[in-house]
Amino acid sequence: MTKLHVQIVTPQGMVCESDADFVVGRSADGDIGILPNHLPIIVPLEIDKFRVKRDDKNEDVIAVNGGVMEVRDNQVSILANSAELPSEIDIERAERAKSRAEGHLQ
């Protein structure tokens, strides 16, 4: 079976690279799922999780802070402002940033 080759890159470097059966990201128009042999497409991504389903039992979830996804020839390239694996997320830092953002909204 054909696989997708997925790369998630930020200005700091490669965050994730793997082969996948299916990926799902959030675009401005809603969720977009990509299977192997998808037509070429370029879409902006929202701040949300990006799911990389490697097989029936294994899935990676990456927090993506906007960016662009390009799909071409079974290659999925994500150029994101920032991206973090769940194990890398600093919960205290995220909560402080959320509090600051809520303060700016008020």
Specify the CATH number for the domain of residue 34. Answer: 2.60.15.10
Task: List the domain range (segments joined by +) for residue 73.
Answer: 4-105
What was the pLDDT predicted at 89?
Answer: 67
Q: Does residue 30 surpass a pLDDT of 70?
A: yes
- pLDDT value for 90: 67
Q: Can you give the pTM of this predicted structure?
A: 0.81
- Per-residue pLDDT averaged across 30-57, rounded? 94
pLDDT per position as a tens digit, 49-106: 999 999 888 899 999 988 999 999 999 999 999 898 877 766 677 677 778 877 888 7
Looking at 2-6, 7-11, 102-106, which range is the least confident one? 102-106
pLDDT of residue 103: 82
Tally of domains within the chain: 1
**What backbone torsions phi and psi does residue 55 show, to the nearest 5 degrees?**
-165, -170
What the block records as the tokens of 91 is 């919960």
Helix (H, G, I), strand (E, B) or coil at 61: strand
| Residue predicted with more confidence, 84 or 5 | 5
Beta strands in 1-106, from DSSP E residues, in sequence order = 4-10, 13-20, 22-27, 30-34, 41-53, 59-72, 75-79, 83-84
Output the six-digit token pair for 16: 């994730």
